[in-house]
Amino acid sequence: MIEFIKGTFIIAGALLMLLASLGILRLPDLLTRMHATTKAAALGVILIMLAVAMHFAEVGVTARAVAIIIFILMTAPVAAHVIGRAGYFVGSKLWSGTVKDELRPNYDPLTHELKSGRETEANARREPKESDPS
Amino acid sequence: MTGAIWNLLLALAWVVLSGDFTGINLMVGLVFGYIALVLIEPQVESLQGYPARIPRILRFIGFFIKELLLANLKVAFDILTPPWHMKPGVIAMPLEARTELEITMVANLISLTPGTLSLDVSDDRKVLYIHAMFLDDEEELRHNLKEMEYRALELFR
């Protein structure tokens, strides 16, 4: 039984990794590629680590596997966010099939100011920052 | 927080007293410690709310795993079949979360579920810009995101 679960986890994890790499090749633009790489790869690593922990069934190995899972869960979304954000603001083109972009109209490329579209009178005025072009 | 520390202390006491230093025994100790804390909760003020939080965290983990698997399958299907079914787009989600920690947690959770990637927070911290892969049903997506945010915030408050 446990053999079966371990095998399923490892195969599923490897398939997810394969899927992530296929996604990098096939998907049309930077942001959709970030989708494929972070999530599928993270879930793949988690499944493989669970299988490893089950296979060895030792405290040391399990603790390390859990630590790896926690670190992946902590770092993967941050990395995806930073790469995606940088790519978007540097101006990488979105795919032609993109149906909607609510960020572009609210972003000022000169001051790097990002409005929310729901400003009130009180916070509409902005303090000048050092990074503003003079 | 006090509740968590006490739970851990009780579990350690259980491990030391029963003399069996294994992970499974620590788990058993945690469960017994939790039961003890549930029993004395009405009399101890600083424990208030701790017992109710644990099932909430477990439910949240279950909910999150379910979302993760479903959405991964959806993305997988789209990558493997030649025509594109996806309708990507950037949407603005109004945030309920106020503090830095809450916003970070919500943004990370949204990034972790496949199909959504948090891009940026507006300067006044009222709106989170999210890149979504499947905008066929925007209402439903917004509803799901709201539910995720609500459940995540429940853990902190």
Beta A100-101 vs B89-94: how paired, if at all?
A: parallel
- Which tokens is A99 given? 């149906």
Residues A49-63, mean pLDDT to the nearest whole number: 86
A129 pLDDT above the threshold of 70: no
Chain A residues whose beta carbon lies within 8 Å of the beta carbon of residue B112: 38-39, 42, 73, 76-77
Nearest CA in chain A to B21: A59
A24 within domain boundaries:
yes
A30 within domain boundaries:
yes
A88 within domain boundaries:
yes
Residues 6+ apart with CB under 8 A from A54: A2, A5, A6, A9
DSSP category for residue B45: G
Shortest distance, CA A20 to any CA of chain B (angstroms): 9
- The span from the CA of B4 to the CA of B13, in Å, is 14
- The residue ranking higher by pLDDT, A118 or B25, is B25
Map chain A to HEC letters.
CHHHHHHHHHHHHHHHHHHHHHHHHHCCCHHHHHHHHHHHHHHHHHHHHHHHHHHHCCHHHHHHHHHHHHHHHHHHHHHHHHHHHHHHHHCCCCCCCCCEECCHHHEECCCCEECCCCCCHHHHCCCCCCCCCC
DSSP string, B61-94: HHHHHHHHHHHHHHHHHHHHSSS---B-EEEEEE
A134 within domain boundaries:
no
- The span from the CA of B32 to the CA of B128, in Å, is 41
Nearest CA in chain B to A37: B114
pLDDT at position A125 is 52
Mean pLDDT of the residues in chain A: 79
A130 within domain boundaries:
no
- Which tokens is A82 given? 């930073």
Q: Do A35 and B124 touch (CB under 8 A)?
A: no
Shortest distance, CA B128 to any CA of chain A (angstroms): 8
A75 within domain boundaries:
yes
Q: If pLDDT is split at 50, 70 and 90, which confidence band does A10 have? A: very high
DSSP category for residue B135: -
Q: If pLDDT is split at 50, 70 and 90, which confidence band does A28 have? A: confident
- Which tokens is B81 given? 């079949």
Burial class (CB in 10 A: 0-12, 13-18, 19+), A32: buried
CB B27 within 8 A of CB B37: no
A95 pLDDT above the threshold of 60: yes
- The span from the CA of A23 to the CA of B80, in Å, is 8
Range of the domain at A56: 2-92+100-125
Number of domains chain A is built from: 1
Best residue in A25, A37, A38, A39 to probe B by mutation, most B CBs within 10 Å? A39
- The span from the CA of A70 to the CA of A77, in Å, is 12
Residues A99-127, mean pLDDT to the nearest whole number: 64
Q: If pLDDT is split at 50, 70 and 90, which confidence band does A14 have? A: very high
**Distance separating the N- and C-terminal Cα atoms of chain A:** 69
H/E stretch holding B7 reads: helix B2-18
A8 within domain boundaries:
yes
**pLDDT 10s digit of each residue in chain B, 157 long?**
677 888 888 888 888 888 877 778 888 888 888 888 888 878 877 777 777 778 888 888 888 888 778 878 887 888 888 777 777 888 888 887 777 888 888 888 888 877 788 888 877 777 888 888 877 777 888 888 888 888 777 776 6
- The span from the CA of A89 to the CA of B96, in Å, is 25
- The span from the CA of B134 to the CA of A100, in Å, is 11
Residue whose token pair is 């101890």 = B44
A11 pLDDT above the threshold of 90: yes
A15 within domain boundaries:
yes
Nearest to B88 among A23, A42, A95 (CB): A95
What ipTM goes with this model?
0.71
- The span from the CA of B76 to the CA of B58, in Å, is 27
Q: Do A106 and B122 touch (CB under 8 A)?
A: yes
